[in-house]
Structure 1
Amino acid sequence: MTGESLESHVFNQFHFDSETINRLSEFVEVLASWNQHIRLSGYREKADIRQHLVTEPLLAAHYFGLASSLCSIVDFGSGNGSPGIIFSILYPHLRISLVERKQKKLSFLSYVISRLNLQNTTFYDNIRSALTAQQAPSSTEIWMKAVSMQSLFSELSRPENKGKSFHIKKFGEWDPVPGCQYIRKHVITSEAWSLSPIFKITVSEGLLTV
């Protein structure tokens, strides 16, 4: 199955409206174009971008029921916009904060937000500002893809966060740090939604107390 037909198959399986499909497709095009000049991702081919940076977050979002969630999401180490931009496109009712410290990648995120008119999405150059901006009483989840837990812990282990707990969901194998509790691993496959080929990803879930 080619990248284009796979993309169509995946999007049709989830019954997205035409605007959502167009935005997801445009994200792939923009990322592939920018990635030729700025290293945003190791995935160079559009088919790989679709699978790893679009379909994987899509499956995770469906698995965790983000369509009916009222939480705020902080994408730590957003860089190429996955998973935060994907969540923003899928669920405009959610408040999405993208955190990226590198200026060139921030420029990319700013461009994508503007081009796709993602009014529910804001970007920050540090997680402290992103967390401060969260609005009570909604809960906040920190999502991570291709970033180590130690990097997150280093950012959160500041005096002002002493005693606070943070809900974490991380793509890939769990890399524990002291204080991380309630670790659960969710093996998510596309088989439940009859997608082909079968995608299998792992999202680890935990509560980090600093």
Structure 2
Amino acid sequence: MGGQIIDATVVPAPKQRNTEEEKAAIRHGRIPDRWKDKPAKLGQKDRDARWSVKYTKAKVKDGADPRAFKPVDLAIPMFGYKNHIGIDRTHGLIRTWDASAANAYDGARLPVLISPNNTASGVWADTAYRSKKNEAFLAKSMFTSNIHQRKPHRRAMPERIARANAKRSAVRSAVEHVFAGQKHRMGLIVRTIGMARARIKIGMANLAYNIQRLAWLEGRTAPA
């Protein structure tokens, strides 16, 4: 299977219009007092989805004068759930997956997403998955870590690490095709209420993607 690639993406859900008091109650796992005597309203409030922030690094276009235009990094707030997946490098099929609230830490899901059935030892992921705990887990499980290296604090990225990360990105970027297919072709969004239903919706989307991918793979290899 050529190894496995791990990543996660936010699956949006309809934004909730709650007061600060209601938000505080939800964060602490309580039902806001104003909702307790309104079962119809309570049934329409998603208390499991969470806000997260997606950071986008701005880049200067090739040939542009960096002094004429200073790129600005973007922080995009997103509300919903998160789809954590592991795909095999050879076929691009989703082999493992998990679902969580959008604010869940990606790195904590690595052990769940690693497939012991993959015939190759390589594991690719971005810097969110690099930690001493995950590196120890991969080494103990006889996997080879190809997880991106982080930039040293307050120092420029060493050239050798930048080159190594670029090579890793060439492989890891394959997982973005999965997310693009789900978001654009399938229009994936969670309109259900609660984690249980969201998990089913995300799981069915992953299954549907695999069916489409398998049909494409078989069509590509079919004899003329």
TM-score > 0.5, shorter chain as reference: no
Q: TM-score, normalised by structure 1?
A: 0.29
Greater relative contact order (Cα < 8 A, sep 6+): 2
